[in-house]
Structure 1
Amino acid sequence: MFIAYAVLAVLMSAVLLVSAGAKTLRTQRLTAQMTALGLPEGILPLLVVAQVAGAGGLVIGLRWGSLGIAAAVGLTLYFTGAVASHLRVGDYRGTPPAAVLTIVAIALIALRAATL
């Protein structure tokens, strides 16, 4: 179970850091998507911080399990909010990726809790 957590945590952290990088660079595609979701541009730095903190927490959670669980809980809430935001505006193309990441975050909670 620990190896499964480790692999999933590293992959999720990579996804989060790439996404945070795109938000930092304010790419055209991402800015258009945020506008379509009705999110103000000023929220992007907060989203970047949440993603980087989540990635760091998952990796540190390899050593300190409770921090890994806390990070995964935070990411579950983050991506649940993303799913809700997409559904709220009827963006059914953007919902599945956020839903998959929500499920991965929940799996990370279960995997790390099983190895404490």
Structure 2
Amino acid sequence: MFAAYVTVTIVASVVNGIAAVTYLIGHAYPQAQADMKRVPRSWLPVLGSLLAAGSLGLLAGLAVPALGTLAAAGLVLYFIGALVAHLRVGSRQLVGWAVFFSTAVAALVVSVSYHR
């Protein structure tokens, strides 16, 4: 179980860390997504910071288990908000969302399961 916990946590952290970087450097893809979802571009640094905090929190959770569980739960909530943003504008392009949401849920499940 330890190997699964560490692997899923690291994969989720890397995936969300890469997303955070794209938001924080002003990459065109998050900007286009924000425009499509009618989210102000001024929110992108905040959203990127939330992703970065979740990513770092997952890694910190390897040393402080409660922190990792809270970070995973925060990422799950973040991606539920992203789903709402998609559905609000009628977007059905949910493959990317599903990948990110699945990694966050997997990190939460293995964290809770391992630390019971």
- TM-score with structure 1 setting the length: 0.90
2:33 counterpart of 1:30: no
Pair 1:97 & 2:96 matched:
yes
Name 1:84's counterpart in structure 2. Answer: 84
Q: Match for 1:46: what amino acid? A: V
Whether the aligned pair in 2 keeps the contact of 1:2 and 1:111 (CA below 8 Å) is: no
Q: Equivalent residue for 2:112?
A: 113
The amino acid that maps onto 1:9 is T
Spell out structure 1 runs of 4+ moving beyond 3 A. Answer: none
Alignment partner of 1:23: what SS?
Answer: helix
Q: Please report how far the alpha carbon of residue 110 of structure 1 lies from its aligned counterpart in structure 2 after TM superposition.
A: 1.7
In structure 2, the partner of 1:20 is 20
Matching residue of 1:47: 47
Partners of 2:111 and 2:46 in 1: how far apart?
26
Determine the C-alpha separation between the residues in 2 that align with 1:10 and 1:47: 20
- CA displacement at 1:115 relative to structure 2: 1.7
What is the TM-score of this pair, normalised by structure 2?
0.90
Q: Which moved more, 1:1-10 or 1:100-109?
A: 100-109
Tell me how large the CA RMSD over aligned residues is: 1.3
Alignment: residue pair count: 115
- Note the residue ranges of structure 1 that are not aligned, 5 or more in a row: none
Q: CA deviation at 1:30?
A: 2.0
Unaligned 5+ segments in structure 2 are: none
Aligned-partner Cα distance in 1 for 2:24–2:67: 25
Structure 1 residue 59, shift from structure 2 partner: 0.5
